[in-house]
Amino acid sequence: MQSHPPVILFGAMDRHNFGDLLFPHVLGELLQEPKSCCAGLVERDLRNEGGHHVRRLTEAIAAQHGSPFYLIHVGGEVLTCGVWEAAVMLLPDAEATAAIRQFAVDRLARPAWAQGFFGIGALAPYTVARAACPGAASVIYHAVGGVDLAISDVAQRDEVIAKLMQADVVSVRDAVTFNYLAGLGMQVRLIPDPAVMVAELFHSRIADRALQGEVAQLDSIFPDGYIAMQFSADYGDDTTLATMASQIDELARATGYGVALFRAGTAPWHDDLDTYRRLAARVVMASVTIVSATGLWDICALIANSRLYAGSSLHGRIVAMAYGVPRVNLRHPAHARMTKQASYAATWDIADMPVAEEASRLAAAAHQALRIDRSILHARAAWLVHEYRKGFAHDFKDSCR
């Protein structure tokens, strides 16, 4: 391996988001490439949260001094992440709020401001053109997503497609993205998300983590088991919270399970503790605890040991799939079109498993998920590992091997 060019793993791992923190662990474990680094749009050290020390991409490329290297886009919904959204999610909470207020009316000025923030000209900054990678031996898009690419801003969409056309390898994680790109005549493969490998690669680490901290206390708090639940801040209106509280009470009466509320992301527009407190105050029958830990392995352990995962996070679902845990995603009423959660579930989950339901159907969907034989769920988890390994071997058969 020492004779191979260095590897740059690039993605949104520069912010606290469950899946983005997990991707470089999976790729790093499988590639076993000692000369690798993690890169994002900004430099961040997320090792205290189970992530990596992330370098700024431009600096990581410059450090190669024109020598060959492999650039790997490591996953995530990067094909539709615009420069404005990327900037806001990388700002501290107060600065993000100020930026949102500043451009609340003048929305057309948002991209130019965000480009200035990063010092780049890209509209889709988590996608990189070959021309921006002097010396690159290979540019790879690995298991990326872009469910809304067909309806994205035209200029942003054209930029992304041009970058994909220049890449050496493109694989995507859901059928909607695959069908759109294949319809353009692009050479693209469909493979599962890298997070399907979490139990296969990191079971011992996650099992050890389950014996520590807040996660270790959940067995005594919830002797009959618990539902691992999270949702993003946009579910925080009073009506939705009241609906979810009544659904949680209905589940508690039927199952005896408690609810462990956790955050799958702390970056702006992700999960919010105050919203969880407001939900807990509305619950009458169920026992509810709010888990403050946000470390990557704490989250994995919490989901792995739950009776059910329910939430808005796609990677909450995928980690539940990896551990054979019943699952259901929440769908916001404002999201009438196909979401990344729904597209991924429709592509890879078993037919009887609920996909994405509004809060008013949470209890019914949970009961449906819980009725499915766990042996079927474990068989699906094993199949996904097999399918991912095949896709991984194809994506990297001529690179980083």
pLDDT tens for 316-332 read 999 999 999 999 999 98
Which residue, 143, 82, 92, 142, is CA-closest to 113? 82
162: Cβ–Cβ under 8 A, 6 or more apart, which residues?
129
Indicate the helix (H) or strand (E) that contains 92: none
pTM > 0.85: yes
Given pLDDT bands bounded at 50, 70 and 90, which one contains residue 398? low
Q: What's the mean pLDDT in 28-47?
A: 93
The SS3 call for residue 4 is: coil
Give residue-wise pLDDT tens across range 142-162. 999 999 999 999 999 999 999
DSSP string over 135-174: TEEEEEEEEE--TTGGGS-HHHHHHHHHHHHH-SEEEESS
φ, ψ dihedrals at 265, nearest 5°:
-170, 140
Q: Which pLDDT score, from 0 to 100, does residue 337 have?
A: 79
Q: How far is CA 302 from CA 12, 259, 313, 361, in A?
A: 23, 11, 14, 23
User: With pLDDT > 90 as the criterion, what percentage of the chain qualifies?
Assistant: 89
N- to C-terminal Cα separation, the chain: 8
Where residue 334 falls among pLDDT bands split at 50, 70, 90? confident
Exposed e or buried b per residue across 263-283, where buried means at least 16 C-beta atoms within 10 angstroms of its C-beta: bbbbbbebbbeebbebbbebb
Query: Residue 5 corresponds to which tokens in the numbers above?
Result: 């060019």
The mean predicted confidence, pLDDT, of the chain is: 94
Rounded to 10°, the helix 340-348/314-322 angle is 20
Q: Quick count: other Cβ atoms within 10 Å of Cβ 367?
A: 17
How many residues in total does the chain contain?
A: 401
* DSSP SS3 for 200: helix
**pLDDT given at position 401:** 46
The owner of tokens 């996904």 is 384
pLDDT at 3: 59
293: three-class secondary structure by DSSP? coil
What would the two tokens of residue 17 be? 């988001």
